[in-house]
Amino acid sequence: MHRITLIVLRNLSILLLVASFNLGGCGNQSSNADPSSQEILAQMNQAYANCTTYQDTGVVTTTFINSTGRTTIQKPFFTAFVSPDRFRFEYKDSLSSTAPPYIIWRDGVEVLSWSIINPGIRTEDSIGTAIARATGVSDGSAATIPPLLLPEIGLRMFYGETQRIDDAVIDGVNCFRILENATGDTVWIDAKTFLIRRIEAQHTFSDFSTETVTTYNPVFNGVVTYEMLAFNPPQ
């Protein structure tokens, strides 16, 4: 129950604010020299919605802290997308190269998935259903970037109030930082391209707490190969 509660809280904190700002497209800087959190999120939303191709690699690192110490779990993931409807998302339960993946794949109206939880190819009713099924087990990574690329999934970031906090640098990239007041979760957004680079979340429960950091290495409008989009579940 603790882990289910954690996933629900995390999912609520990583959903997109749909705002009515008519801002620039993929990779454009905001015309406002000092944009608000709402303007930054709207520009981010517009950038993902307008991109032609997208790919990323990343890792969700969750540390569980209790009276006996700290335990860390890392789940790598990979996303590939070609507008409007070619899509593949994969995550693994560990950094091991031999760990079996969880795959979500779409080509037009056809949506397939493969999971170690129930091995075998599954035909999904919709991309939204497939994403929802993978959200908890992927520690939320399935429900962050894919809904930005595929708005029909119907998820949003930050249902609550947000504020802009001090900017920071990650891997040499200047980032805006947006804080959701209700949860204390923080999103790092590339100040030039409006790509998500990092998400930080902390939660406290009765007998343990968690610290989760999700990192992204994203590429907009680059080359997405056939191999990146192939549905290639384990034999």
Identify the pLDDT of residue 235.
80
Reference 100, options 137, 66, 141; nearest CA is 137
Q: What is the pTM of this model?
A: 0.85
Tokens of 213: 């950091």
Tokens of 177: 């930082």
pLDDT tens per residue across span 84-139: 999 999 999 999 888 899 999 999 999 999 998 888 999 999 999 999 999 999 99
Strands of the 101-107 sheet, one edge to the other? 121-123, 110-114, 101-107, 86-92, 69-82, 53-66, 209-220, 196-204, 186-190, 173-180, 162-170
Identify the pLDDT of residue 7.
43
List the beta strands (DSSP E) in 124-183. 162-170, 173-180
Identify the pLDDT of residue 27.
53
Which residue stretches of 51-78 are H helix?
A: none
Reference 184, options 13, 3, 2; nearest CA is 13
Residue labelled with tokens 């809904």: 147
List the beta strands (DSSP E) in the chain. 53-66, 69-82, 86-92, 101-107, 110-114, 121-123, 162-170, 173-180, 186-190, 196-204, 209-220
Residue labelled with tokens 């900017």: 167
Identify the pLDDT of residue 26.
53
Identify the pLDDT of residue 42.
95
Q: Rounded CA gap, 35 and 25, in Å?
A: 16
Tokens of 144: 């962050």
Regions of the chain where pLDDT drops below 50: 1-25
What is the enclosing helix (H) or strand (E) of 49?
helix 37-50
Q: Which amino acid is at 172?
A: G
Q: Are strands 121-123 and 162-170 parallel, antiparallel or unpaired?
A: unpaired
| 206: three-class secondary structure by DSSP | coil
Contact at 8 Å (CB) between 127 and 105?
A: no
Contact at 8 Å (CB) between 37 and 181?
A: no
Q: Mind listing the domains of the chain with CATH numbers?
A: 2-229 (2.50.20.10)
